[in-house]
Chains A and B, each alone.
Chain A
Amino acid sequence: MTQILAVIDGSIYSTSVCDHAAWIAQRLHLSVEVVHVLGRRDVSSQPTNLSGSIGLGARTELLDELAELDASRARLAQKRGRAILEDAKERLNADGVTEVATRLRHGEIVETVQDFETDAEVIVIGKRGEAADFNTLHLGSNLERIVRSTHKPIFVASREFKPIKRFLLAFDGGNSATLAVERLAALPQFADLTCHLLYVGNASTELQRQLEGAQATLQQAGFTVAAEVVPGQAEAVIADKVESDHIDLLVMGAYGHSRIRNLIIGSTTTHMLQLCRVPVILFR
């Protein structure tokens, strides 16, 4: 059965993730599966013993001590996790979604998402996680890793849910963008939204043709589409457009380049996620 996979961690984004998931769920009539991952054990804050001496039965003693510490932490984390999931379920129910399943898992978040994504139509995740909240321009470190490891569309929720009327599709003629157009055209449930099709740069005739093709495809599916070519630098132009045209949602292909290149010049996707204060759908 296809469903929506909502990944939450108890940060302030969790509520927004639920709201966005509910928005999609109601339009597509899908059920929502909420996952909370109890991550790798945090070892940084444990009480340390720097005495450097080992006495009788040091190993057994240390093992007992560490196991007890982990056990009490795990119990606490599980309790908190269940509470987070309970809140999420309530929120989704309040948003009008009745079919909600919750999953509490141990492990690594990327691997967990990989385990659960097979039945998912789309994965909803917050732009930032618990640990990254101190800096509003800092992206969750898990986000890029999840986006890179999955082949499902990812809906990246912004801090707060706002009604969505207009979306901007950043079209670059690449595979991901073409895929995004195809996938959207197959979803008439969203046809009441206005689509802004945007190509940034100097479009060749070939690209112009592709852009028109994309526009036609979307129009056929019932979308109201405005296509536009704007010269300039992609990130700045898109960010401006989102601001000036009151765009509520950004749709784009994700991470077309290797990590090595991203290390040196940075990734357009990451910059866009940082710059735009609206939710983003990423297609790979």
Chain B
Amino acid sequence: MNTNFWSRLHSEWLGNIRGDILAGLVVALALIPEAIAFSIIAGVDPKVGLYASFSIAVIVAITGGRPGMISAATAATAVLMVTLVREYGLEYLLAATVLAGLMQIVAGLLKLGAIMRFVSKSVMTGFVNALAILIFLAQVPELINVPYVTYVMVLAGLGIIYLFPLLTKTIPSPLVCIVGLSALAIWLNLDLRTVGDMGDLPDSLPIFLLPQIPLTLETLLIILPYSAAVAAVGLLESLMTASIVDELTDTRSNKNRECIGQGIANTATGFIGGMAGCAMIGQSIINVKSGGRGRLSTLCAGGFLLLMIVFLGEWVRQIPMAALVAIMIMVSVGTFNWSSIKDLKEHPKSSSIVMLATVTVVVATHNLAIGVFVGVLLSGIFFAYKISQIFRVTSTLSEDETARIYLIEGQLFFASVDDFTEAFDFKEALDKVTIDVSHAHIWDISSVAAVDMVVLKFRREGAEVEIVGMNEASETIVDKLGIHDEPGAIERLLGH
């Protein structure tokens, strides 16, 4: 309604101005090292990630479906693009970003946000843990074959990040870490790799440009798999982060609007020379923790980020990589779901296997989409197996021992047809067999075929076969149960 639209717009943008601006500033400070680090993961200049973080944050602030969530260049999407950049170069990455954005818009329009319901808690935990491991692994090259002073600096950085908040919580400790280590490195003239060594930093505001690629089918086929993976992973992490922010703030988000918003942001970002991104779990937690709740916080994060980079570029160039590595280790540690390790013992084995499989596949393939796919597949199989156990066949022989009634109860579908077929004794010589399925649910074609096969087998042995209650039992065979509106429909389904 009109009135509600205006009031919602007002509260989403201006409901928490002071908190949002402050939190936006804290997040912007934390975004700079991350954007640089993720650019390095993807193998592009830091400016690609920095422009992306600016543009994604600002656009998602307006178009997204979850106020207070932070979106920018992320590790999850960066790891997907490594080979594309290595083999074809930056321009193809930009084109892939645009295409991924368009795919996300389509996904949002088709309301695919609802698919998230099939991603179980275990898969999500696996995703988060895998992401944390990927972020950590990406830091390893900075820690191998480097002068020992790097280790000292990283340890000092970690010390500052974790211990400084005990002193005061009014200054972001990652900022203290960056400023402190940079000052130390410049003062002592330490021989350390700096951000400037990693590639170009932005020296101006971003401008619109078309990716320089041949517009051919061949190009499309090159970028398509990357775009599809980026689109899927981006949406997954965004929707997952949205649920986390929903949980933290006890408010609701619009999942389909989030999909479209992420898509618009990525499409636009590709055209200003930025790489694809999505929502960030760690940053969103930092935002909420710092008091950010509204859209203004995301907008401020993006805006402050660009201002700082463009005007402080000379200083950013001199930040030692060791400071960034320390911050990324903090992000990785903060992203990892540590209680999930303890839960391994307590949770059902199937859940733990799903979680571990998701993590393993992601770490092996560096592709979160494949990991999640495997996780979802496994949880589906486990679920089908569990449900197939809700199944029982009992039988009674008539007094003259010429007829038998088989009573089938429970769920009859592809996973339980073997048990179903084995429950019959075809060797018993009978005149009449009655199969009562009125207390069973027949879910699919496999089970119908199994029933037919049993009937046929008994006929071959010379018995007369009657099936009772087939119509009621097969009411569930349609793909969508359209009878829920009818009074008593659920009771009837549960009853037989």
B80 smallest CB distance to A (angstroms): 24
Pick the interface stretch among A1-9, A57-65, A93-101.
A57-65
Instruction: Tell whether A52 pairs with B175 under 8 Å between CB atoms, given A62-B288, A63-B247.
Output: yes
Instruction: Tell whether A56 pairs with B244 under 8 Å between CB atoms, given A43-B19, A50-B169, A110-B3.
Output: no
A146 smallest CB distance to B (angstroms): 9
Instruction: Tell whether A50 pairs with B330 under 8 Å between CB atoms, given A40-B11, A62-B248.
Output: no
B16 touches A149 (CB 8 A): no
Instruction: Tell whether A56 pairs with B2 under 8 Å between CB atoms, given A44-B18, A50-B171, A145-B7.
Output: no
Specify the chain A residue showing the minimal Cβ separation from B337: A59
**A209 interface residue, CB < 8 Å from B?**
no
Tell me the complex Cα distance, A44–B14, Å. Answer: 11
B282 touches A54 (CB 8 A): yes
**A55 interface residue, CB < 8 Å from B?**
yes
Contacts of A135 in B (CB 8 A): none
Contact partner of B30 (CB less than 8 A), chosen from A52, A55, A58, A110, is A52
Specify the chain A residue showing the minimal Cβ separation from B26: A52
A41 smallest CB distance to B (angstroms): 8
Specify the chain A residue showing the minimal Cβ separation from B250: A70
Tell me the complex Cα distance, A255–B23, Å. Answer: 39
Contacts of B335 in A (CB 8 A): 54
Contacts of B3 in A (CB 8 A): 110, 145, 148-149
Contacts of B244 in A (CB 8 A): 59
Tell me the complex Cα distance, A108–B29, Å. Answer: 35
B248 touches A63 (CB 8 A): yes
B289 touches A49 (CB 8 A): yes
B288 touches A50 (CB 8 A): no
A54 touches B330 (CB 8 A): yes
Contacts of A145 in B (CB 8 A): 3, 7
The 0/1 profile, CB within 8 Å of B marked 1, for residues 109-136 of chain A is 0110000000000000000000000000
Contacts of A44 in B (CB 8 A): 16, 18-19
Specify the chain B residue showing the minimal Cβ separation from A51: B165
Tell me the complex Cα distance, A43–B12, Å. Answer: 12
Specify the chain B residue showing the minimal Cβ separation from A59: B285
Tell me the complex Cα distance, A51–B287, Å. Answer: 11
Contacts of B172 in A (CB 8 A): 50-53
B residues 1-57 touching A (CB-CB < 8 Å): 1-4, 6-7, 11, 15-16, 18-19, 22-23, 26-27, 29-30
Specify the chain A residue showing the minimal Cβ separation from B284: A59
Task: Determine the main DSSP class of B at the interface with A.
Answer: helix
A135 smallest CB distance to B (angstroms): 18
B171 touches A53 (CB 8 A): no
Residue with the highest number of chain B CB atoms closer than 10 Å, among A62, A67, A70, A259: A62
Contacts of B420 in A (CB 8 A): none
Tell me the complex Cα distance, A52–B288, Å. Answer: 10
A50 touches B7 (CB 8 A): no
Residue with the highest number of chain B CB atoms closer than 10 Å, among A41, A43, A149: A43
B229 smallest CB distance to A (angstroms): 26
B339 touches A60 (CB 8 A): yes
Instruction: Tell whether A53 pairs with B250 under 8 Å between CB atoms, given A44-B18, A62-B289.
Output: no
Contacts of B286 in A (CB 8 A): 52-54
A residues 63-82 touching B (CB-CB < 8 Å): 63, 66-67, 70
**B373 interface residue, CB < 8 Å from A?**
no
B336 smallest CB distance to A (angstroms): 8
B342 smallest CB distance to A (angstroms): 10
Instruction: Tell whether A53 pairs with B330 under 8 Å between CB atoms, given A48-B22, A62-B289, A149-B1.
Output: yes
Nearest 6 pairs of A and B residues by beta carbon: A54-B334, A52-B172, A48-B291, A51-B165, A51-B169, A52-B26
Residues of A at under 8 Å CB distance from B? 40-41, 43-44, 46, 48-60, 62-63, 66-67, 70, 108, 110-111, 145, 148-149, 259
Given A58-B334, A60-B339, A66-B248, 17 other A-B residues pairs in contact with their CB atoms under 8 A: A43-B291, A44-B19, A48-B169, A49-B290, A51-B165, A51-B172, A53-B165, A54-B282, A54-B330, A54-B334, A56-B338, A59-B244, A62-B288, A62-B289, A63-B247, A66-B250, A111-B4
